[in-house]
Amino acid sequence: MNTNWKTEFRTRMAQFDTKNLGGFAPVSIKVRVAGGCFHREHSPEAYSLIDGYVADADLSDVHYQIEEHESGPEILVYLAVATAGLSLAKSIVELITTIIKARSEGIKRGDRPSEPLEIIVRGHTKYGEYTEETILRIPTGTTITPKQLAGAFPKQTKLAPATAKKRKKK
């Protein structure tokens, strides 16, 4: 993997990871098109639906950020890391499901290209090593339910939860 890209990713995650929430891991959830582009210029219909959802949705239960890339949106979010794997807030599952549905609807309305989507979970281990896992490949036009999406997230993960910052004693 490109060293410059890894450096950019580490910087993006560090800029996002300002809350340092103990027991939660800063994670990147990438919704990537398998080929071609999935950004505003080529998918205006999909992004119109995504923007409308984000404007109206109650995402107050999560600390998140959406980064736009040529290959598709990336959601930076804190996820709970437990022995059962990554735990997603319902609002994040709904956001990702909305992005997938918006892509399909955008294609119906004329967005191009129409390659399949991949859902990729990325982050860093407790040793600072980059890790990624493609958890789902979604053929164009396939409907994914929130339950299917949540079930695809890793049951075991190398991602490290943030450690709470220690207070200085006076």
Report domain extents, the chain: 34-152
Q: What is the pLDDT of residues 3-39, one digit of tens each?
A: 898 999 999 999 998 877 777 888 999 999 998 899 9
Residue 54's Cα: distance from chain center in Å? 14
Per the document, the length of the chain is 170
CB proximity list for 64: less than 8 A, separation 6 or greater = 75, 76, 77, 78, 92, 95
CB proximity list for 112: less than 8 A, separation 6 or greater = 36, 42, 43
What pTM did the predictor assign?
A: 0.87
Q: What is the pLDDT of residues 40-55, one digit of tens each?
A: 999 999 999 999 999 9
116 forms beta bridges with: none
Phi, psi (degrees; rounded to nearest 5) at 157? -140, 150
Residue 48 CB coordination number (10 Å): 16
